[in-house]
Amino acid sequence: MAMTWSHVVLYVKDADRMLDFYTRVLGFQITDRGHIGGGPNEIIFLSQHPSEHHQVAMVPMRKDEGPSNSLAHIAFRLDGMSELRGKIAALQGESVSMRPTTHGNTWSIYIQDPEQNGIEMFCDTPWHVTQPAGKEWDINADDATLMAWTKQAFAEEPGFEAKEAFHSRLAETLA
């Protein structure tokens, strides 16, 4: 059986600040919380998906200052560009720096949460491109313009093809 991604557990310093960001800005809901093994350490579970008890959990026991140094980023797939644009809009009033990057196969926004853990929110493009690849994209471009620009920007890159063709070959390889 193939493994699928389920969740990430973050050690956090300021649980209230982190919960505010993940619930108010990113749209997660607290699904559970309690003390681990009856001890002093609490764990807080969050999800956006009804079939996942938690996608993110937080344990407020981080002691060090500064950015996390063990995690590059966690990534969240969105159903499409309208959902990604909704996340971009939610971030507009926050003191968050957004780095829009397309990898040819996705349109992504990279940010950092209040404790500087990296987060990627993305939706798929209709193409596959050999990775790594990346170019900045204009978050203000309309969907048709963005689609045409992305296709033109990556059409000559190695491995550029319809996503379905790549996934079909990958399914055969993984079978």
Asked, colleague to colleague, whether 1-64 and 66-175 share their fold, the answer is yes
- Give the tens place of pLDDT for each residue, 5-25: 889 999 999 999 999 999 999
* Each residue's pLDDT tens digit, 78-111: 999 999 999 999 999 899 999 999 999 999 999 9
| CATH class in words for 66-175 | alpha beta
CB atoms within 10 A of CB 76: 19
Output the CATH code of domain 1-64. 3.10.180.10
Neighbours of 40 (CB within 10 A): 8
User: What integer pLDDT is reported at residue 83 of this predicted model?
Assistant: 94
Q: What is the pTM of this model?
A: 0.84
Q: Are strands 99-102 and 161-162 parallel, antiparallel or unpaired?
A: unpaired
All structural domains of the chain with their residue ranges: 1-64, 66-175
Please enumerate in sequence order all residues whose Cβ is within 8 A of that of 137, keeping only pairs 6 or more positions apart, or say none: 100, 101, 102, 107, 146, 149, 150
